Structure 1
Amino acid sequence: MKTARTTTGNAIDASPLKALPPTGSGLRPTSEVINFIEGTRAVTADDLEAHSITRYRVTSSYREQIINSGYYDQLKLIVEPSFKEFESPGNLDTSGEHDNTVVPGFQHKYAQTGLLLATDRCASYCRYCFRKRIVGRDSDEIAADLGEIARYIGGHPEMTNVLVSGGDPFVLSTGRLHEILDRLLSFPHLNSIRFGTKMLAYAPKRFEDPGVVALFQRIHDARKVGMMVTHFDHIGEISVDAERNIRALCARGVQFLNQTVLLAKVNDDPEILAATFAKCHQIGMRPYYLFQGRPVKGASHFQVPLRRGLEIAHGINQRLSGIEKTFKYIMSHSTGKIEILDLGADGRVYMRYHQNKTPEKIGKIFSRPYLEGACWLDDLAEE
């Protein structure tokens, strides 16, 4: 069992649930009973693997937060398994991560940005996770050789920033995060380092470790920008502890961006998302991306049709002040990050590439005829 410890001695248990125990004959039992939202169900390990169903794991602090939030019926869908996962089609690499992996644990899809997968563990498991092929497993897709990654970065001066993600890097010890910085801070062509995390929702007390402040101070002292990319999907996830720690880190110069996934029956409501983004703005997190849900195997039931997604995005903007309207409604497709703009009177969905491997395509508006119920670019016919 893997356990990550902070430098203050608090442990974040981020291990997967143990494998099924052997029977007296040395074989695993044929099935086990698991509590799903809809009821109990006997499943085998092969059932879970075949349908890409992640084991249930949630921190006690998050569970307490969502129970007391007044939004439990919505927020339980983020972490509690459902029978719908057995019937959700899709694939496990919706953004083409395998194709853009240049060194084990390091992706280079867009010229300016490197993505370092620091761990395959999270404190809790999101049911809609687009990296469920990695998370909670002993994956060979995470960074094993930081030296090899550093050599790649050194050979690519066009790269200006690195995003450290996973899994969730903050299940790792602060010491391990400093080891990652040891490799990154020496490159003059890197001007910013980001950490992607949902730990401020799942285990906000992790950020009371004074070593976190020291981590970002190192980035600042190296004359680079240190950023935290948080992941709050709903105002009901923002606890008192999370707000306190975000405000404290903001006061020490840490910059925050927040990304949110649009999720059916969780937050597919412009009023809820406007309140979430206004709260983020109030406490020092700039709303960054509203992600269209991805067609992930075992999780595509969370997708919202593009027509409804656009109604929600427009409804959010109608409820926010000008300085709060900082998010983009984005589809993170294998071809690039696509900003979803509008559904025209001509029945076409208008989009543009926010990021693309081909620089000439960035910013170019394109359209496809809308198909009712379509949730993803691949659902729309090319002409």
Structure 2
Amino acid sequence: MNFIEGTRDVTEGELQANNITRYHVTRFYREQITKSDYYGQLKHIVEPSFEEFESPGHLDTSGEHDNTVVPGFQHKYAQTGLLLVTDRCASYCRYCFRKRIVGKNSDEIATDFSRVAQYIDDHPEMTNVLLSGGDPFVLNTAKLDKILNHLLPIPHLGSIRFGTKMVAYEPKRFEDPALLALFQRIHEGGKTAVIVTHFDHVGEISADAERNIGSLRAHGVQFLNQSVLLAKVNDDSKILAATFAKCHQMGVRPYYLFQGRPVKGASHFQVSLRRGIEIARGINQRLSGIQKTFKYIMSHYTGKIEILDLGADGRVYMRYHQNKTPEKIGRIFSRPHLEGACWLEDLPEG
């Protein structure tokens, strides 16, 4: 198997034991990053590294198993449902936090959409559903339409989101005329269609991506972007500021900058909290007020934690952006900083 550092003989057992996904990337993305000025950074997103063999961590860092209420459907936060519709992606990100699922025949993928719809129908507090996976847009549009058949009749659903990196990996997928009809169905059903793109680096934003985003926006689709803070890839405030500024220019609202998770086979991508706070501060210093709409987030087992600052008192200040317990949302808390800490559990209590 080819790695960034060279070729290495590996058995299937070694790959499984170390949670290493096989190399898989679209021709479009490979050409996009090779021709860019950023190949030295972007190659780490899709090309395997020897570091994956020495990268400890967990397979479920956010408690997805514990929040699964129907096979393939999670309900962690009151207003939001998470629907896993596929275990496949157009390309495999080396830092993926769902390595336990992606590229495998997983039993965590939804199959009984009637049962999912019944659960949503029974929970009127749920106002939006996020289709994820894998990447929902690896499914053909007819399959997505069938899924919508179950979701659109539910009156208290106000929006339907699609989490995808396909806009970077294979933007021509969004030139499918049937997709426009699908988004029109959502609109006519009285709901908002939202695509959450996944641009980690300005070098991933192709002319095709920009053109197709513009076309879909003209048809009423809203766009958000989430990025992951990744060592060797985008741990640079100038790069991320340029990424967010470009997203804003395209009408894609910067949404989350995620702290890298301690995922087995991918924790080498983590950046320390001290460095992450410095980067987030540098991004904000480079953007205008209307461009800095992102939150620096740790997607933790207990909830989405906004990382605010490292105080002069040596404490890391945080706030719950989302939590299973509504009373905790918005609450600021702190922990003593420990040099090199990358995750909440790395910080001592007290």
Q: Report the alpha carbon displacement of residue 211 of structure 1 after superposing the two structures with TM.
A: 1.2
What CA deviation, in whole Å up to 9, does each residue of 1:241-279 have, x standing for no partner? 001000111111110000000000100000000000000
Distance 1:60 1:308 in 2: 34
Equivalent position to 1:133, from 90, 100, 115: 100
Q: Report the alpha carbon displacement of residue 223 of structure 1 after superposing the two structures with TM.
A: 1.1
Give the partner amino acid of 2:104.
R
> In angstroms, what is the RMSD of aligned CA positions?
0.5
Following superposition of structure 1 onto structure 2, how do residues 3-22 of structure 1 map, counting pairs within 5 Å? none
Asked if 1:356 is matched to 2:323, the reply is: yes
Unaligned runs of 5+ in 1: 1-33
Question: Residue 143 of structure 1 aligns to a residue in which SS?
Answer: coil
Asked if 1:218 is matched to 2:197, the reply is: no
Distance 1:226 1:381 in 2: 42
TM-score normalised by the chain length of structure 1: 0.91
Following superposition of structure 1 onto structure 2, how do residues 190-209 of structure 1 map, counting pairs within 5 Å? 190-209=157-176
Following superposition of structure 1 onto structure 2, how do residues 6-155 of structure 1 map, counting pairs within 5 Å? 34-155=1-122
Q: Name the structure 2 match of 1:290.
A: 257
Give the partner amino acid of 2:150.
R
Distance 1:221 1:314 in 2: 41
Asked if 1:337 is matched to 2:304, the reply is: yes
Give the partner amino acid of 1:299.
A
Q: Report the alpha carbon displacement of residue 330 of structure 1 after superposing the two structures with TM.
A: 0.2
Q: Report the alpha carbon displacement of residue 198 of structure 1 after superposing the two structures with TM.
A: 0.3
Q: Name the structure 1 match of 2:291.
A: 324
Question: Residue 66 of structure 2 aligns to a residue in which SS?
Answer: helix
Distance 1:317 1:179 in 2: 42
Give the partner amino acid of 1:355.
Q
Higher-Rg member (1/2) = 1
Q: Name the structure 2 match of 1:243.
A: 210
Give the partner amino acid of 2:58.
N
What CA deviation, in whole Å up to 9, does each residue of 1:76-112 have, x standing for no partner? 0000000000000000000000000001100000010
Q: Report the alpha carbon displacement of residue 150 of structure 1 after superposing the two structures with TM.
A: 0.8
Distance 2:299 2:176 in 1: 33
Q: Report the alpha carbon displacement of residue 151 of structure 1 after superposing the two structures with TM.
A: 1.0
Asked if 1:188 is matched to 2:192, the reply is: no
Question: Residue 8 of structure 2 aligns to a residue in which SS?
Answer: strand
Give the partner amino acid of 1:112.
Q
Give the partner amino acid of 1:361.
K
What CA deviation, in whole Å up to 9, does each residue of 1:188-212 have, x standing for no partner? 1110100000000000000000111
Give the partner amino acid of 1:69.
S
What CA deviation, in whole Å up to 9, does each residue of 1:147-191 have, x standing for no partner? 111111111111110000000000000001111111101111110
Question: Residue 76 of structure 1 aligns to a residue in which SS?
Answer: helix
TM-score normalised by the chain length of structure 2: 1.00
Distance 1:84 1:256 in 2: 34
What CA deviation, in whole Å up to 9, does each residue of 1:324-359 have, x standing for no partner? 010000000000000000000000000000000000
Question: Residue 98 of structure 1 aligns to a residue in which SS?
Answer: coil
Give the partner amino acid of 2:164.
T
Asked if 1:307 is matched to 2:281, the reply is: no
Q: Name the structure 1 match of 2:342.
A: 375
Q: Report the alpha carbon displacement of residue 215 of structure 1 after superposing the two structures with TM.
A: 1.1
Question: Residue 260 of structure 1 aligns to a residue in which SS?
Answer: strand
Q: Report the alpha carbon displacement of residue 54 of structure 1 after superposing the two structures with TM.
A: 0.3
Instruction: Flag as ranges the 4+ runs of structure 1 deviating above 3 A.
Output: none
Q: Name the structure 2 match of 1:164.
A: 131
